[in-house]
Each structure stands twice: as C-alpha cells, then as structure tokens.
Amino acid sequence: MTDLTDLRLSYQKGELRRDRLNPDPHAQFQGWLEEALASDMPEPYAVTLATADDLGRPSARTVLLRGSEERGLVVYSNYHSHKGRDLSANPQAELLFYWPQLERQVRVYGRVERLDDAESTEYFHKRPRESQLAAHSSDPQSAPIASRAELEAKFAALEARFPEGQPVPKPEFWGGYLLTPAAWEFWQGRPNRMHDRFEYLPAAEGWRITRLMP
C-alpha cells in the first residue's frame, strides 16, 4: 500500500474576488485560458471530458480543446468512440480544466451537439497529414485490436492509398462537438484549503454569479 495521506500543498499563488470577476463567464474563461497558454505548462488546452451513457454510467478521458467561442467550447472525436456513443445516447457533458501551475480549475457543463460537416472538414484538413491518416486507421476507436502490428499495418495501408500530395478525405465517422455552456465554475486554490469558488448560472439577463463553499 502507498500511503498518500501526508501529501498535500498549500496553494499560495492567487485569489479570486467577486468584484474582479467578469460578468460574462466565457470572457472570464478566455482570460484564464490566455494566462495558461502564456505559462510554461504543457498543453494547457488539454481538458477532461466527462460523459455518461443512457444508464448513467460515467466515463472520463483527456481530449484537446480546439475552439473557445461565445457559442461554446469545441472538441473533435471519432463518432464511434466510447465518448461518441455516450454523447449519442446522452448529449450532455462536463469539461474540466486543471492548471496546477496557476492553482486554478474550471468546470463547464452543458448540452453537446455535433458541428456541421463543413466546419469539421475545414478543421480536419488543418491537422497534420499523419493525424488525418490516424483518424482513419483507428476506427472503430475504443474497439479491441489484436496487436500493435495490426494497427500499424492499417496505417501503412492508408499511407499507400493516400500518397504524399494527395488530399486525405475526412472520414464520415469523425467530426466536432460543440458544448453549449449551461453552468460554469471557477476555482482558485488558497492556503489552508480555504479556496475561492464561483459558479455562473443563467439568469433572466446574463448570468447569476454565486460564491460556493470550498
């Protein structure tokens, strides 16, 4: 057994005050995201995506944020993947950003819908060619495969099918998801576990901001 009971940090890097919060949660998020991107932490756009199936069984994994806009947050995936199947059965999810170097966390919950095919195709062709081929070769994503060699053989066959210089078409089973926020929560670590937490929920006009117990 590994005893972790004495391992902890006392967060010292900042505070979060109600009078300094942006009334628009997306603008508040953008400010924090830009600070994270300007820091030296690796992949601050990596985010935990939590979904649940039609029976309520939860599942979580790390994906990459590929869009932060007024309408919502965008990620991309294989529609046949575990998360894709979850979102088809239960189109709601939560994203969790954790930035330890800034001692900050952001949670955002909302309904999820697929992006239109044109938008997904535009992004697909911005990806490195190898990533485009991998999107094809890893289908059906999350399904069992006998060996690494079989996976690499699928990739090699696709390289031969779409040689260098020839466009790789976007697979029909791959595309973007848009999460439209229905709730945001911003967390700033503070000493002695007296953290600052604020929740944004929709109001008649704009958003209602509430401080939460840590």
Domains, in order of start, for the chain? 18-125+174-212 (2.30.110.10), 126-169 (no CATH)
pLDDT-derived band of residue 165, with 50, 70 and 90 as boundaries?
Answer: confident
Give the residue numbers marked as catalytic: 193
> Which segments of the chain does DSSP mark as H helices, in order?
25-38, 82-89, 117-124, 129-137, 148-161
Contact at 8 Å (CB) between 145 and 138? no
Q: What is the pLDDT of residues 60-97, one digit of tens each?
A: 999 999 999 999 999 999 999 999 999 999 999 999 99
DSSP string, 67-104: EEETTEEEEEEETTSHHHHHHHHS-EEEEEEEETTTTE
Q: Is the pLDDT of residue 140 over 90?
A: no
